[in-house]
């Protein structure tokens, strides 16, 4: 199935066939649907999420299993599953219905106080890391190895740095990456979100109101959750985030590595096709390299 085939008409068919109780509720796409999933509002109180490709399908059952267990232990709301759809002749994978969470995707102009926002986010991640990890999902294909060692992406990162040699400070990027690789994780596995990005943080009345999309979550090294420090936070808010969590030097170095890897592959993908996304990636790379030079 192609992601473009996932539309309102398809969702109407699925809901009507599998959950007729909600068949008469209005369905409309949300403004920011995401890449891994397509999201639609179902009535006033629910949403429908459908994986956009087979690579994301394992995340559905994981969220249904774990989100109800994690939610009561966290200080900020997260998605709560209502029902799980099953594969059919019109859609080949499992899909989800969740409770609707009010809020807009995080953006600098929507946040009243960035330092307060950083504090709330750090407290949330700290609480997540304290939750019992027994039987929790380790890093793997289901979450693209978030929480694993950065060596998983070593070849890709080095190749991308080489390919972007004339576009970035390749020497410093290599130094950041090698420093991250050397800063090994020696702690016990903890819960991590896996994709702490502006698109997965909701803001209401200027404050952090919810954390969504736990598809990349698991138990392992929490360094992957540090990337928000360079993709959204800066200056004092970055310092607050690091202090409140708190984050040691090695985890911070690995977090820089995760942020650099993602920004590099994003820049390489969009450099000739999407100036907006390429520009965002360049900014993250600049933030990471500057932070490294100042450490």
CA-to-CA separations, 144 to 138, 152, 167, 203, 217, in angstroms, rounded: 11, 10, 27, 27, 10
φ and ψ at 273, to 5 degrees? -125, -30
Residue 4 has what pLDDT?
Answer: 76
DSSP of 151-205, one letter per residue?
A: GGGHHHHHHHHHHTTTTS-HHHHHHHHHHHHHS---S--EEE-S---GGGEEEET
Which CATH number does 3-99 carry? Answer: 3.30.200.20
Q: Which helix (H) or strand (E) holds 58?
A: helix 58-70
Angle ∠(223,227,231) on CA atoms, nearest 5 = 175
Q: Can you read off the two tokens belonging to residue 155?
A: 């070849």
d(CA 216, CA 222): 12
Does the pTM exceed 0.75? yes
**In this structure, are residues 211 and 124 in contact, taking their beta carbons and an 8 Å threshold?**
yes
What percent of the chain stands above pLDDT 70? 99
185 Ramachandran zone, left/alpha/beta (phi>0; psi -120 to 50): beta
Q: Which helix (H) or strand (E) holds 231?
A: helix 228-231
258 Ramachandran zone, left/alpha/beta (phi>0; psi -120 to 50): alpha
d(CA 53, CA 225): 24
Rounded mean pLDDT of the chain? Answer: 96
Q: Is residue 213 scored above 70 in pLDDT?
A: yes
104-294 maps to CATH 3.40.1360.10:
no
| Interval 190-208 mean pLDDT | 97
Q: Is residue 33 scored above 70 in pLDDT?
A: no
* List of E strands, the chain: 27-29, 37-42, 46-51, 81-85, 95-99, 104-105, 190-192, 201-204, 207-211, 218-220
- When pLDDT is cut at 50, 70 and 90, the band that residue 35 belongs to is confident
Residue 220 has what pLDDT?
Answer: 98
Domain ranges of the chain: 3-99, 104-294
Residue 115 has what pLDDT?
Answer: 98
d(CA 282, CA 276): 10
The answer to whether the Cα torsion of 241, 244, 248, 254 is positive or negative is negative
46-51 and 95-99 beta bridge pairing: antiparallel
- Write out pLDDT tens, residues 144-185: 999 999 999 999 999 999 999 999 999 999 999 999 999 989
Whose CA is closest to 255, among 286, 236, 231, 283? Answer: 231
Two domains, one topology: 3-99 and 104-294: no
Cα 235 to chain centroid distance, Å, stands at 22
| Interval 224-230 mean pLDDT | 98
């Amino acid at each position: 199935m192609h992601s473009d085939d996932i539309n309102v008409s398809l969702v109407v068919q699925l809901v009507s066939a599998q959950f007729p109780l909600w068949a008469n509720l209005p369905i409309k796409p949300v403004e920011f649907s995401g890449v891994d999933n397509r999201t639609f509002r179902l009535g006033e109180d629910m949403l429908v999420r459908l994986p956009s490709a087979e690579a994301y399908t394992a995340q559905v059952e994981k969220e249904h299993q774990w989100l109800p267990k994690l939610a009561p232990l966290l200080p900020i709301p997260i998605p709560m599953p209502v029902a799980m759809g099953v594969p059919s002749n019109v859609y080949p994978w499992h899909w989800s219905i969740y409770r609707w969470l009010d809020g807009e995707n995080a953006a600098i102009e929507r946040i009243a106080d960035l330092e307060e926002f950083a504090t709330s986010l750090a407290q949330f991640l700290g609480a997540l890391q304290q939750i019992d990890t027994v039987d929790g999902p380790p890093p793997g294909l289901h979450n693209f190895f978030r929480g694993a060692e950065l060596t998983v992406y070593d070849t890709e990162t080095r190749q991308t740095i080489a390919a972007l040699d004339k576009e970035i400070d390749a020497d410093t990027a290599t130094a950041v990456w090698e420093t991250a690789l050397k800063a090994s994780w020696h702690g016990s596995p903890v819960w991590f979100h896996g994709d702490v990005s502006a698109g997965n943080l909701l803001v209401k009345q200027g404050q952090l109101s919810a954390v969504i999309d736990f598809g990349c979550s698991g138990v392992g090294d929490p360094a992957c959750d540090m990337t928000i420090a360079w993709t959204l936070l800066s200056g004092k808010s970055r310092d607050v985030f690091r202090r409140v969590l708190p984050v040691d030097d090695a985890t911070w170095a690995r977090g820089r590595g995760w942020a650099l890897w993602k920004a590099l592959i994003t820049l390489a993908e969009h450099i000739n096709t999407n100036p907006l996304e390429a520009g965002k990636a360049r900014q993250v790379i600049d933030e990471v390299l500057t932070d490294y030079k100042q450490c």
